[in-house]
Homo-oligomer: A and B are copies of this chain.
């Protein structure tokens, strides 16, 4: 049994990630395999049943990690040894798991696609056993990344073209969500991250200068600014450790003191009434001829705070957004499910109250009028309707068909797609986007329901 590094708790490397699954996935799969239904063709659909009140759209993210995991996950000897200790798996099933390779197909919408309730983000078709096995991980990946990208898209839209950077690492739920979240934020248009591991992992621009502790470690703020600028002439100075406007005055003093050597690019406000303080700071900087020194704001920001600051005319050039984006505070969960919709060539549904879903393999057609999307139709995969089909075959026989697009390309695609949403849907107030179900899919759903009820 390979030794786990001491920091591996909860931050798995290696194939232990195959064990990131609910026990019932494996007990079900063992039953399928034992009963001979493990290889019968099945389709599962991953979608969000209803949108939270604070979301008019979702921004799809997570597909890249899903495809990578489907290609690479293995139950290694360490995982098998653990499963054996549980006493509920036969040797024959453990052997099956040890040989397991995902051989199925995946259709999915590209990352960066705006999505709505009921629309499949991805569908997996394969043997019932292999399509069931990674449900927990698939939901977790798509949920975390889509939720965070969707929140960030709202923040980016509220910033009206101003730069927004990700300051959320300290309060995102865990390392995994933070590193994957930084990528999801980049898809949504966030410019950079403070998180070095995310920067390294996803090749993102990284940003950051100083915290209050730095200023506090000096006898006075002026000395702290002087020392930091000596080390980093083009830095951003944090001015609110003691008193924001006093801090701005010290920056102005430093500019006088240094003359041509003064290269500070920005000040950062991190507390107080940011609209008023940014106006006063701008006046003070301009009065000192420091027109080129930009104002950066942070501290408890989200899309609503950004919109309010900009509506009040705050002369803020860029925003650092942290916790509220990093935990998607107003909607920290999406109602994402992964449901069996077809088995042995026949549509499947549940009839539990309030949990109906659409049977079979599907396609989504997105329609456009005058450069703006006018609505989507969810239909059967083998229909041909007007509009642009969103679901594409991305993996076949367990192999991905196209390489991962560069992140910047995904972000550009997302920006272009978001720009084509109806303006109210892009806005912060609740607005619905028309999604309908095709006649053929409706008829199919009715026939499956009738068969179930009979």
Chain B nearest CB from A348 CB (Å) reads: 5
Shortest Cβ distance from A270 into B: residue: B352
Chain B nearest CB from A185 CB (Å) reads: 13
Interface assignment of A125: CB less than 8 Å from any CB of chain B: no
Chain B nearest CB from A155 CB (Å) reads: 16
Shortest Cβ distance from A42 into B: residue: B217
List, in ascending order, chain B residues with CB within 8 A of A30's CB.
Answer: 231
Please, what's the 1-or-0 string for A145-173, where 1 marks a CB less than 8 Å from any CB in chain B? 00100000000000000000001011111
List, in ascending order, chain B residues with CB within 8 A of A373's CB.
Answer: none
Assembly CA distance A179 to B10 (angstroms): 5
Chain B nearest CB from A239 CB (Å) reads: 10
Chain B nearest CB from A173 CB (Å) reads: 4
Assembly CA distance A354 to B339 (angstroms): 48
Check B242–A210 contact: CB distance below 8 A. Answer: no
Shortest Cβ distance from A235 into B: residue: B27
Interface assignment of A213: CB less than 8 Å from any CB of chain B: yes
Q: Report copies per complex.
A: 2
Shortest Cβ distance from A242 into B: residue: B351
Assembly CA distance A208 to B217 (angstroms): 53
Interface residues of A in 37-82 (CB under 8 A from B): 37, 40, 42, 44, 65, 68-69, 71-73, 79, 82
List, in ascending order, chain B residues with CB within 8 A of A175's CB.
Answer: 10-12, 17, 20, 137, 140, 174, 176
Binds B, one of A189-197, A279-287, A385-393, A432-440: A189-197
Check A232–B31 contact: CB distance below 8 A. Answer: yes
Interface residues of A in 5-25 (CB under 8 A from B): 5-17, 19-25
Check B232–A88 contact: CB distance below 8 A. Answer: yes
Q: Could you show 15 A-B contacts with beta carbons less than 8 Å apart?
A: A5-B72, A10-B201, A20-B169, A20-B179, A22-B167, A25-B211, A83-B196, A136-B195, A143-B171, A170-B336, A173-B173, A176-B177, A177-B177, A243-B351, A329-B332
